[in-house]
Amino acid sequence: MNTRPYVWIDALWFQALWWLIALQRDQAGLPILALLLLHLMLFPQRRLALISALLLAPLGYLTDVVWVQSQLLSFNSAYRVPLWMLGLWVGVIWSLSWSLHWLKHLAIYWQALIGALGAASSYYAAAQLGALQFETTLWNSLFWITVMWALLLPSLMYAMTYLERRFMDVQTSIS
C-alpha cells in the first residue's frame, strides 16, 4: 500500500488541528472531536491509533498538568488544564505514525534536538496567539520545555515503534 499520500494528509490535518486549538481553544470542542474522528475514518491502522491515543496521549497531557502545577505556564481557558490539550496530544501521537514517522530513522540525539526546538517554538507560538501564558520568564519556561521535549520525543518515538510492531497491520506498514 502506498502510504505517501497519508503522510501529507496527516501533516495538513495536524496543522489544521493545531491552528483550530490555538485560535478557538474552549470553543473548539466539537470541531476537535470531528477532526479526530475524520483521522480515524480516513487512515488505516485504527487499532494502532486508538491504542496509542489511550496509552500515550495521557502521558503527554500529564506533562502539561505538571507544568501548570509547577506554575511554569497556564492556559487561557475556563479549565486549569483544558481537554483541548488532550486532543492536541492525540494529534501529536498519531502524527508520530504518519507525517513524523521519518523521525524514527534518526539517531536519538537528533530526535531530542528536533523535539526540543519544535516544542519550544510551538509553545512560544501558542503563547503569542494567546492560547497560553508563561508564568516564569520566557527563557526559563522555554528552557524547561526544551529539556522535557528533548527527553519526551525520543521516548514517544520508542513507544510508538514498539506499538507499531505489536499492533500494526503488515499491509499498511510505514517504512
Query: Residue 4: CA atoms inside 13 Å, Cβ hemisphere, count?
Result: 1
Q: Read off the pLDDT of residues 121-154 as tens digits, 9 standing for 90 and up.
A: 999 999 999 999 999 999 999 999 999 999 999 9
Domain limits of the chain? 4-170
Q: Read off the pLDDT of residues 84-103 as tens digits, 9 standing for 90 and up.
A: 999 999 999 999 999 999 99
pTM of the full structure: 0.93
**Are the C-beta atoms of residues 146 and 117 closer than 8 Å to each other?**
yes
Reported as a pLDDT band with limits 50, 70 and 90, residue 168 is confident
Rounded to an integer, what distance in angstroms lies between the CA atom of residue 159 and that of residue 103?
A: 13
**Are the C-beta atoms of residues 156 and 53 closer than 8 Å to each other?**
no
